[in-house]
Amino acid sequence: MNQRGPVSVDALHRFDAIIDARSPAEFARDHIPGAINCPVLDDEERRIVGTLYKQQGPFEARRVGAAMVAANLAHHLRTQFAERPAQWRPLVYCWRGGLRSGAMVTWLRMVGWDAQQLAGGYKTWRRHVLHQLATLPPRLDLRVLCGPTGSAKTRVLQALAAQGAQVLDLEALAQHRGSVLGALPGVAQPTQTAFETRLAHAMQALDTRRPIFIEAESARIGCLNVPQPLVQRLRASPCIEIQADTPARLDFLLRDYAHLGDDPALLAKRIAALKELHGKQVIARWQAWAQERALAPLFAELIALHYDPLYARSQNTHLYQWPQRHTVNTEALTPAHIDTLARQILALETADRQLTNAAPGVACAGAGPARP
């Protein structure tokens, strides 16, 4: 039985499983990607032990808590761990890498498994994530997909991924489509810490030697904040604008956001958030259309009066390479047209790369990553 000391986050890939020994509520807030939750104390038990610690001291808390831990570990041995082979190598962590994960590691080693403990627990992992969020963005060779609302940027990003390009889909990581109407039906956003873990994990998997396509986003997606190093890198990177006329965009929105008509009351409530920008009379008209499920006139006015003016003001201000942007045009935004847009964007990237290679040291407008 191996008795090595706690291991670092750099060794995560060496283990057969990562076990989060914290309570379900702690696990739900954030956890190491791929970890399974096998709590040694559930949420209520953790509350009881914490109360005993404060009111009666550490001995009583540990006496009562030890019985709970023993029962929970026995349950995991009969269920989650029952079919694990003798050669199984799990890594266990808790909040600080202390008693909870230590207790589980001790039991697993008694069985005969080569269980190890993560040094510093989740807190060490969190420091690792924050370091990644600070140091990775400046190394990313980003290409920023731009276009007014309804130009199918997210779908084009997905088509690019399907065609072999590297993408960083912030809206997928945030589980939100970015606008005031962008909440996904029946899907809650992750916590800020969980979003940051997802983002760091996604960036770490990217090849920094190849271009990475990303959608133009504000510094906030729904209720989540995009880390500032990534915001700054995005704003300094080359831009590609999707251009489609208003009828094509409206047709796309009516297909892609059709679910908004399923809950008229909720849609009207979300529209109320725009009252300060557009006044009571306009909002009342939009809310009436929402209640009637009249999405066509509602979306048409949202494009004309809200989204397009906002887009016109923000791009030149927030995207530093906006004047040198490439453009791709389309007459429609059907799935076939979206696939064609993705191919055009990849062709632009190939042409830029060939031009740069043919004339080293000569800057090509809109080509190559911005340098800090």
Alpha-carbon dihedral 308, 313, 316, 320, rounded to 10 degrees: -110
Burial of 227 (0-12, 13-18, 19+ CB in 10 A): buried
Please provide the distance, in angstroms rounded to a whole number, between the alpha carbons at the two ends of the chain: 50
Count H helices and E strands in the chain, helices first: 15, 11
Which amino acid, 133?
L
SS3 242: strand
User: What H or E segment, with its residue span, contains residue 225?
Assistant: strand 224-225
Annotated catalytic residue 223: no
Nearest to 125 by CA among 6, 5, 10: 10
Reduced to 3 states, what is the DSSP secondary structure of residue 33? coil
Cβ–Cβ under 8 Å, residues 333 and 248: yes
Instruction: Give the helix/strand (H/E) hosting 143.
Output: strand 142-146
Compute φ and ψ for 312, nearest 5 degrees: -60, -35
Q: Which residues does residue 19 pair with via DSSP β-bridges, in sequence order?
A: 36, 92
Choose the catalytic residue: 94, 146, 223, 239: 94
Give catalytic residues, as residue numbers: 94
